[in-house]
């Protein structure tokens, strides 16, 4: 089975682990097409990392309109497909993007079966030409991967009638995200550290975390790991509520430091709040923390409850009192705390490892060819 995967997301070295696992599947000859870098919309440049490169071929090729999410494409892709002669083309892009349309047309010329991937979990009507691109991809795709349940429903509402498999884009490396030593039992009054990891943005509901602190015992503190436009607002809110000494901003950290930081938290909280143009698509920090045996609390926004399952606590988005109640459950019930720590790790091992995601994706390839 010759598989060609096209993905700008795989400039990130840690994500390449999935490809090594895919390449281990029976009969798979895997080739990755990726750019030398991706120009992110926040101005940062994500340069290709070669971290997990065993078992498959990596072709680094120029990208036109790099940084333009909707219009970028690979001008040499036709030649690459002619050389590789893939049977399966995995287009790691949304169906309304030109890169997907371009790759889909080339795949059809090669008589290869193609699929696309989508995170888009809000119904949106796109203007021409994007709606035309979307409809073309719906008609010609042999399968679709959706990163969450809402995204699968959106595909159906928008007219896609083919097979859909709900599989996250990437899994998690449980050798990196794990607890390096057993957690020390908390004594009464010991600090209890709540944490958030990610961009400090309005839609993440971070003001709820600060608002919860005055309702919690004095030994509870809050750590923000990341940068973003909400930082000054959160600092001012903490000052106004009299909890400024209990709020710590660590700023952005290298990705290799995040597992250690997650181990030091007593609980990770993702209090996302749905907006008219946004709803939580997955919440990668949740499985990362769960793999580190750090209990998680998440809001009811989007995919969060499905990611957490019974391995954490969920509160109604925007409801500070429910958030406070969840935190108090962890404070007051050591047995529940220990159960959730263990369940979180087990849930990731069963559902979200790179190996699990690779196996599920391989099954889709088999179904496409069948």
Q: What is the CATH number of the domain that holds 13?
A: 3.40.50.2000
Say if 276 falls within a structural domain. yes
Assess whether 207 and 271 both reside in one domain: yes
Residue 26 CA to residue 63 CA, distance in Å, equals 31
What pLDDT does 188 receive?
Answer: 83
Expressed in percent and rounded to 5, the helix, strand and coil fractions of the chain are 40, 20, 40
What pLDDT does 43 receive?
Answer: 73
Count how many domains the chain has. 2
Residue 55 has what DSSP assignment? T
Task: Say which residue, 305 or 184, is predicted with more confidence.
Answer: 305
Q: Is the pLDDT of residue 42 over 80?
A: no
Assess whether 204 and 101 both reside in one domain: no
What pLDDT does 45 receive?
Answer: 87
What would the two tokens of residue 156 be? Answer: 């159906």
Assess whether 135 and 47 both reside in one domain: yes
Say if 227 falls within a structural domain. yes
Assess whether 166 and 199 both reside in one domain: no
Residues 356, 21: contact at Cβ < 8 Å?
no
Q: Is the pLDDT of residue 186 over 90?
A: no
What would the two tokens of residue 234 be? Answer: 């959160």
Assess whether 14 and 125 both reside in one domain: yes
- Structural domain of 257: 192-351
Say if 99 falls within a structural domain. yes
Give tens-digit pLDDT for 72-88.
999 999 999 999 999 99
Q: Nearest CA to 136 among 101, 180, 106?
A: 101
What pLDDT does 261 receive?
Answer: 96
Say if 345 falls within a structural domain. yes
Say if 180 falls within a structural domain. no
Assess whether 257 and 358 both reside in one domain: no
Average pLDDT over residues 115-138: 95
Average pLDDT over residues 4-22: 94
Assess whether 198 and 268 both reside in one domain: yes
Assess whether 336 and 360 both reside in one domain: no
Distances (CA, A) of 172 to 16, 78, 150, 254: 11, 32, 22, 17
In a 3-state reduction of DSSP, which class is residue 259?
A: helix
Half-sphere exposure of 318 (CA within 13 A, CB side): 5
Q: Which residue in the block uniquely carries the two structure tokens 């059809």?
A: 108
Give the list of residues 6+ apart from residue 334 with CB closer than 8 angstroms, or none. 185, 186
Give the distance from CA 297 to its chain's centroid.
17
Average pLDDT of the chain is: 95
What pLDDT does 40 receive?
Answer: 82
Assess whether 163 and 295 both reside in one domain: no
Q: Which residue in the block uniquely carries the two structure tokens 């190996």?
A: 355
Assess whether 219 and 91 both reside in one domain: no
What pLDDT does 102 receive?
Answer: 98
Q: Is the pLDDT of residue 5 over 90?
A: yes
Distances (CA, A) of 286 to 19, 283, 291, 294: 22, 6, 9, 9
Assess whether 96 and 154 both reside in one domain: yes
Residues 204, 45: contact at Cβ < 8 Å?
no
Say if 201 falls within a structural domain. yes
Residue 187 has what DSSP assignment? P
Highest mean pLDDT, choosing among 46-55, 184-193, 207-216: 207-216
Say if 187 falls within a structural domain. no
Min mean pLDDT across 109-113, 169-173, 366-370 is at: 169-173
Say if 258 falls within a structural domain. yes
What pLDDT does 187 receive?
Answer: 84
Assess whether 18 and 147 both reside in one domain: yes
């Amino acid at each position: 089975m010759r598989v060609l995967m096209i993905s700008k997301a795989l400039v990130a070295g840690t994500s390449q682990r999935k490809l090594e696992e895919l390449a281990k599947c029976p009969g798979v000859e895997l080739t990755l097409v990726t750019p030398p870098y991706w120009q992110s919309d926040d101005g940062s440049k994500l340069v290709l990392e070669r971290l997990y490169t065993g078992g498959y071929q990596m072709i680094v090729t120029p990208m036109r309109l790099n940084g333009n999410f909707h219009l970028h494409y690979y001008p040499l892709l036709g030649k690459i497909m002619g050389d590789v002669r893939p049977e399966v083309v995995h287009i790691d892009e949304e169906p309304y993007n030109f890169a997907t349309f371009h790759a889909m047309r080339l795949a059809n010329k090669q008589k290869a079966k193609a699929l696309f991937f989508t995170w888009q979990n809000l119904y949106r009507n796109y203007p021409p030409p994007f709606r035309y691109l979307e409809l073309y991809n719906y008609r010609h795709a042999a399968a679709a991967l959706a990163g969450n349940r809402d995204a699968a429903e959106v595909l159906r509402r928008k007219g896609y009638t083919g097979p859909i498999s709900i599989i996250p884009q990437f899994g998690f490396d449980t050798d990196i995200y794990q607890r390096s030593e057993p957690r020390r039992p908390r004594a009464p009054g010991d600090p209890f550290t709540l944490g958030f990891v990610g961009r400090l943005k309005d839609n993440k509901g971070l003001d709820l975390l600060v608002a919860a602190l005055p309702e919690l015992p004095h030994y509870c503190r809050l750590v923000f790991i990341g940068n973003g436009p909400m930082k000054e607002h959160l600092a001012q809110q903490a000052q106004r509520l009299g909890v400024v000494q209990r709020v710590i901003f660590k700023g952005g950290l290298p990705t290799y430091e995040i597992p250690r930081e997650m181990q030091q938290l007593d609980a990770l909280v993702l209090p996302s709040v749905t907006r008219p143009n946004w709803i939580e698509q997955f919440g990668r920090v949740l499985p990362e923390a769960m793999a580190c045996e750090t209990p998680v609390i998440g809001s009811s926004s989007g995919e969060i409850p499905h990611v957490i399952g019974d391995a954490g606590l969920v509160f109604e988005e925007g409801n500070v009192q429910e958030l406070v109640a969840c935190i108090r459950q962890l404070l007051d019930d050591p047995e529940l705390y220990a159960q959730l720590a263990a369940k979180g790790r087990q849930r990731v091992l069963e559902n979200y490892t790179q190996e699990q995601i690779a196996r599920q994706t391989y099954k889709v390839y088999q179904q496409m060819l069948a």
